[in-house]
Structure 1
Amino acid sequence: MRDGNAMQRRATILHDHRSELGEGAAVDPVTRQLRWFDINGKRRVEYDFATGGVSVAELPEMTSAGAAVDAASEMIFAQSGLWLRNRATGGLEVLAAIEADRPDLRSNDGRTHPCGAFWCSTMALDKTEGAGSIYWFFKGEVRTLYPNLTVGNAICFAEDGSYAHFSDTPTGKIWKVALDPSTGLPVAEPELFHQAGEDDPSGPDGAVLDRDGLLYSARWGGARVDVIDREGRTIGRIETGAPNTTCPAFCGEDLASLAIATARDELNAAQLLLHADSGRTHIIEAGCRGRLDPPVLLG
């Protein structure tokens, strides 16, 4: 699926805070604050749009994604599985173990389906091929959906819950799969939706779908977010200047902007000098019709 002549734009810096491996960017539907995770730093970072300030919470494990639960708590996806986090105290309670007996793995991507189910992926710390999986969590139940992935990513859902996208970053492939809207479970085999071009060394990292079905795909190794239409064609590119661009999130009062997390991870000293904004979170008025992920249902 070849790309046409894509329109290019450039994001600016939202805040000077740097993460070693920024991931899981999303605006919480309860607090309306932007949060992301520094996986390697074991930190949860939150940006307050009203004050422009950042708050950082230390975590006991590598953590990469999260979801709202209610006004009192949120769920976070950490190395040993899913945890309930008290918003006020930071206290943690185990919800579901996922690969807790595999210290060679960690959490990676995750997002809430419109019905309240949560999809999440694991990967090997050393990116061993085929060591990761994508899981489904709903009302306390965990199922394996797609094993034998290397770096499962790009988990996102149609507004009506009828389909999902996901990727395996090193392959350059993004898939589309039909779902049962009431459970978020697949009802068909995945089909190839988008394939990176032979001359594109980047891989699809985190992604979001807007209300018009446009996919915003962060590109690890590509210093950008690609805008992909319903047919799998790249119609726009948002440059970040940070080679390892990891995860976009809809933000702003009308959700027409994108906040974009990036990483310093896997860049050498020369690359970091050349790409000084790596690890910072970027922002752009994208003109999209964004939406927020709903709270996850625990029971």
Structure 2
Amino acid sequence: MKKFLIFTSILMAACSTSKMIQSTKSTDTADISLTSEKGFAQEKTVANTLSFLASDDNEGRDTGSKGIEKASVFLENMMIENGIKPYFKTYRDTLSNFNKPAYNIVGYIEGNDPKLKNEFVIIGSHYDHIGKIAAVNGDDIANGANDNASGSTATSEVMKYYAKYKTNKRSLIFVFFSAEEKGLLGSKHLAKKLKAENLDLYFMFNFEMIGVPMLNKDFLLYLTGFGKTNMASKMNEYNGKKVIGYIPAQTKYQLFRASDNYPFFTEFNVPAQTVSTFDFENFDFYHKPDDEFELMDTKHMTNVINTMIPILEIMINKPTKEITINVK
């Protein structure tokens, strides 16, 4: 998420000094995996994507760097391999508000309903991070496995699902945002661009920092801007049990404004929200070199993805726009 100085002090106070080591048994308190005749994400595939995005070779994926260029090519190739069309002329949406060449990676899957395909849903996450920083134990690469290779991995798996099964009645735009860490520049640029096209946006859904499970919660994910819309209650209704909850920290630190959902909320005045499992108590290495693949719980991540796919499918395919902004 967008770096706030207060985050560092809170994290130092709230978190223990020991690393959270991945195990084969997830620590989820809410194991809400859903099954289907269709194939959802596999943990091995999740781990492969995550390990590439968070690798040292990408040097922390700083916006405009050679490292993030490797991640860009990887995501473009994923879209090509899965038959996903570019939304614009190419997959690369060049940022107009950054001083180096930088790109959102944007793909498109047309809806299968003659009427509803004219309405759009955006599903995204940022794939940039902060690059090289002050070394800790000789390591100066901020790999950004949790922030936000984990969210980008989730977006990639949801994208591959719809590319394969094409069950979406509304049209889908999948976005890997750049320059989130520079002040949400990628999403600000794209939101303005799509608004100028008069895109009929139903809702925007963002994945952010889902690499480790929350501690002592009876739900799987929290939703930023929890009370601003009915998205959380509808998602729980569609799931049949409580999968989305609220944590006070998301209000205290204004997390609704801190990730790539926010520019779409302000530009379009439609539901645009982020799900996360980073709760300020479960991960010690926000914006540090130790935010590495080895500390991610890929079983938990796979559970998050496979829980969200059928919920999103219901949201995307409802005949009317049931997700709405709450009127005060």
Verify same fold: TM over 0.5: no
Instruction: Give TM-score, length-normalised by structure 1.
Output: 0.32
* Higher fraction of strand: 1
* Higher fraction of helix: 2
Instruction: Give TM-score, length-normalised by structure 2.
Output: 0.30
